[in-house]
């Protein structure tokens, strides 16, 4: 081995030892978790549910930092540029980390190259809901009416390119029906108009569970592979003959370049939280969330598959945001 090779080997060994030592002492102060959506939504809810027990296991506070705007792009771009030292984390989600690359010509970040996946946290399925006063008592009722009356039904969503919008696109494609899209500036106003009968239906997320429990909305089908424990009597689309799988998912990640030993430590502690924290598990169940977990590699592969899957769905929707 010549002197250059020996020098390089020594440098690599020193770097490896430094990273290992850093991971052993990590964390020594508070950690920031970027939530690129406003308070009250799914990303905010999942971030806060995870932050409390994870901070206890790490022995340092996790400060949540809401940076909303542009469909999650603004806060995600800020997180991408943050120092990759383990003290900056992101609660990633389906929109900025899989869908938006097909909607926006300029994101301000690369959803693959700019982040290191840590762990898949959870997912919440889209649910076909109608007002309780609606004549539709089943998914097939909706499909039959829509086929006989093309363009007469409409559906609401939280906006163009939202999970509700793209779930409805999948529903229409699978059922071979046409329903008019009515985009809103957020989920809450869409739900309000749905309850009032101003729109016909929604492929909503689990934010509608309290409205279903309160008798204000009726759930007809769930777009998950298995029935959701929060709605055990509601069939999946697949059970009804339409293999539709649509959900909003959430995952913990860090800026690219964050040392691998720190990624592994965060993954280990976050997995343990999902397995053993009773309060978190109860909160997840109340929110209708399907529990995640697993390795960074599994989460990275999942994101890649979702990014690929939604390319055709966004193209089918005709949506474009710039």
Q: Is residue 296 part of a domain?
A: yes
| Model pTM score | 0.86
Pick the last residue of a domain from 187, 222, 240. 240
- The reply to whether 178 and 311 lie within a common domain is no
CATH code of residue 210: 3.40.190.10
Pick the last residue of a domain from 216, 240, 264. 240
pLDDT one-digit tens code per residue, 199-250: 999 999 998 999 999 999 999 999 999 999 999 999 999 999 999 999 999 9
Residue with tokens 């409409």: 154
pLDDT of residue 186: 83
Q: How far is CA 26 from CA 80, 127, 183, 187, in A?
A: 21, 41, 45, 39
- The reply to whether 196 and 271 lie within a common domain is no
- The reply to whether 109 and 133 lie within a common domain is no
Q: Which of 14-23, 47-56, 78-87 has the lowest mean pLDDT?
A: 14-23
CATH code of residue 289: 3.40.190.150
User: 202, 224 in Cβ contact below 8 A?
Assistant: no
- The reply to whether 78 and 136 lie within a common domain is no
Backbone angles phi, psi at 217, to 5 degrees: -135, 155
User: 193, 199 in Cβ contact below 8 A?
Assistant: yes
Q: Is residue 322 part of a domain?
A: no
Angle at 260 between CA 275 and CA 273, to 5 degrees: 15
- The reply to whether 165 and 300 lie within a common domain is no
Alpha helices by DSSP H, the chain: 3-25, 42-58, 73-81, 94, 139-148, 163-175, 187-195, 209-213, 260-276, 278-286, 296-317
- The reply to whether 157 and 304 lie within a common domain is no
d(C-alpha 189, C-alpha 172), whole Å: 23
Q: Is residue 14 part of a domain?
A: yes
For the chain, how many residues are written? 322
Res 145 pLDDT > 80: yes
Q: How far is CA 156 from CA 150, 160, 183, 201, 291, in A?
A: 17, 10, 6, 7, 27
- The reply to whether 111 and 132 lie within a common domain is no
- The reply to whether 160 and 67 lie within a common domain is no
- The reply to whether 197 and 118 lie within a common domain is no
Pick the last residue of a domain from 240, 263, 291. 240
- The reply to whether 62 and 210 lie within a common domain is no
- The reply to whether 136 and 174 lie within a common domain is yes
Q: Is residue 213 part of a domain?
A: yes
CB burial readout 174-186, b (16+ within 10 A) else e: ebebebebbbbee
Q: Is residue 49 part of a domain?
A: yes
Percent of the chain surpassing pLDDT 70:
93
Domain ranges, residue 40: 3-123+248-317
Number of domains in the chain: 2
pLDDT one-digit tens code per residue, 31-54: 999 999 888 888 999 999 999 999
Q: How far is CA 43 from CA 124, 225, 283, in A?
A: 11, 22, 14
- The reply to whether 65 and 155 lie within a common domain is no
Mean pLDDT on 263-289: 96
């Amino acid at each position: 081995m010549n002197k250059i090779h020996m020098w390089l080997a020594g440098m690599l060994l020193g770097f490896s030892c430094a990273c290992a030592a850093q991971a052993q002492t990590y964390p020594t102060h508070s950690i920031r978790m970027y939530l690129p959506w406003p308070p009250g939504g799914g990303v905010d809810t999942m971030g806060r549910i995870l932050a409390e027990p994870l901070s206890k296991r790490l022995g340092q506070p996790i400060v949540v930092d809401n940076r909303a705007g542009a469909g999650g792009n603004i806060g995600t771009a800020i997180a991408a540029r943050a120092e990759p030292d383990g003290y900056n984390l992101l609660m990633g989600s389906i929109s900025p980390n899989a869908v938006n690359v097909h909607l926006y010509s300029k994101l301000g970040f690369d959803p693959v190259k700019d982040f290191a996946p840590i762990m898949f946290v959870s997912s919440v399925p889209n649910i076909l809901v109608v007002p309780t006063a609606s004549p539709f008592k089943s998914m097939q009722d909706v499909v039959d009416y829509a086929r006989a009356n093309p363009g007469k039904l409409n559906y609401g969503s939280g906006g163009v390119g939202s999970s509700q919008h793209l779930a409805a696109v999948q529903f229409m494609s699978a059922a071979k029906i046409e329903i008019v899209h009515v985009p809103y500036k957020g989920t809450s106003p869409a739900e309000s108009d749905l309850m009032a009968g101003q729109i016909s239906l929604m492929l909503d997320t689990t934010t509608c569970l309290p409205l279903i429990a309160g008798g204000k909305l009726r759930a007809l089908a769930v777009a998950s592979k298995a029935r959701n424990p929060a709605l055990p009597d509601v069939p999946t689309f697949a059970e009804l003959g339409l293999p539709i799988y649509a959900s909003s998912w959430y995952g913990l990640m860090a800026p690219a370049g964050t040392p691998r030993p720190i990624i592994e430590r965060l993954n280990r502690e976050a997995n343990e939280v999902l397995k053993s924290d009773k309060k978190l598990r109860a909160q997840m169940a109340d929110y209708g969330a399907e529990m995640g977990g697993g390795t960074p590699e599994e989460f990275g592969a999942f994101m890649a598959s979702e990014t690929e899957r939604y390319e055709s769905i966004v193209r089918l929707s005709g949506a474009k945001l710039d």
